[in-house]
Structure 1
């Protein structure tokens, strides 16, 4: 179905190359918002992460950008149809172009559920290529460009596979960003971690902290952690 009903907003994802997924909702529900007012959502897709952040704090404003035209149109529609439309603005740009057009903009938080199929075979569908496939240069650009658009105590927070997280943790210090928090996500208690929600900061006096998160308690049964995190968003909880 093209409509996904959350408790306080509805997402229309028809024709959007990046559909609602577990990665996005985990990031939207869990990223820290203390002292956050200005947010940039890179690769917003349907706009679900931006909408979740706006629901969590009425004091924030989110610039949500996407290079894909269908995603931009869909995010704009979802924002305008929500209770939080005054907090959200969609932009049809990739992050490099957006930063070039807005060289003075600074954010307390930059979030992204980025493409992550590094050097994988490309899908024949262009939209899927853009939304899911990338290479190392994408992440070098992401780290180096966002550094200059974070406020002094701002964070860049991404949800990515474990191997990319480790690559970024090694890469970021070269560009002045330090990993400060890593939420290690697994599907089941006895399985390996599959994702990291990794946060980077401009500040150099914070040690890297780790947390563990499990999605399912058993097949078809969400963990208490997951239910507690998503209870304000999903109607099933």
Structure 2
């Protein structure tokens, strides 16, 4: 049987058991993240992927992170965690990776003393009731909506888990990011970097890639157009994702 998924330069991600498939948002986010350097004389750095799904973002971090890094992916969906575990085991950096079925809230309560130098998430982004009784559709809506994990709850838990010098990266639709940034500021998370993504030239902003930290710094902003007018990947998008896309 042909595997269902996405072939990257150095790994393959199966996603048939996941509500949310491999997509542009996560590939952009994982490519955009800058991993902190690691001093091998200290304890391994801890990274966290919230809502790991297929494990894609965790594996992307594993590819670019220092050798002494431990990356945990968490998700509430048992099927997704099973898929993530298999994808992690099959990738070249399996020793760095772990997947756990748990809610962020429960994970935070168990990890009160543990701090993460990097946290990443492609979080739920709209408020919507689950209307369909069909299992897969329900799971996809649950993966995309905020009823199980509101943005405020996400940020509150991130603030508890993030190290003092750590960074939190996420991607959101442009029309919801202002409220997200405003709330983050009220709990001490300062916006440090922002990349605005457009689908094509002369179209409204589509996504915002955001990076937060506790240490206030000058805000660094940039923009990116994903496709040309002819619906080909743009040179900027290829440059961003060249370490991962097979044909870039």
| TM bracket, shorter-chain basis | over 0.9
Partner residue, 2:42:
none
Runs of 4+ in structure 1 displaced over 6 angstroms?
none
Instruction: Choose from 64, 70, 86 the match for 2:95.
Output: 86
With normalisation by structure 1, the TM-score equals 0.94
What is the alpha-carbon distance in structure 2 between the residues aligned to residue 126 and residue 103 of structure 1?
32
8 Å contact from structure 1 (residues 58, 87) kept in 2:
no
Distance 1:169 1:12 in 2: 33
Distance 1:136 1:129 in 2: 11
Choose which of 9, 12, 22 in structure 2 pairs with 1:10.
12
Aligned counterpart in structure 1 of residue 52 of structure 2, from 37, 40, 44: 44
TM-score for both structures, normalised by structure 2? 0.90
Paired residue total: 235
Cα gap change, 1:163/1:220 in structure 2, threshold over 3 Å: closer, same or farther? closer
Is 1:234 the counterpart of 2:245? The answer is yes
Counterparts of residues 40-189 of structure 1 (less than 5 Å): 40-59=48-67, 60-117=69-126, 119-124=127-132, 125-135=137-147, 138-189=150-201
Distance, in Å, in 2 between the alignment partners of 1:112 and 1:101 is 19
Q: Separation in 2 of the partners of 1:70 and 1:50?
A: 17
Q: Gaps (5+ residues) in structure 2?
A: 39-44
Per the TM alignment, residue 193 of structure 1 is displaced from its structure 2 partner at its CA by 0.9
SS of alignment partner, residue 172 of structure 1: helix
What is the alpha-carbon distance in structure 1 between the residues aligned to residue 242 and residue 191 of structure 2? 28
Question: 1:135: Cα distance to partner?
Answer: 4.7
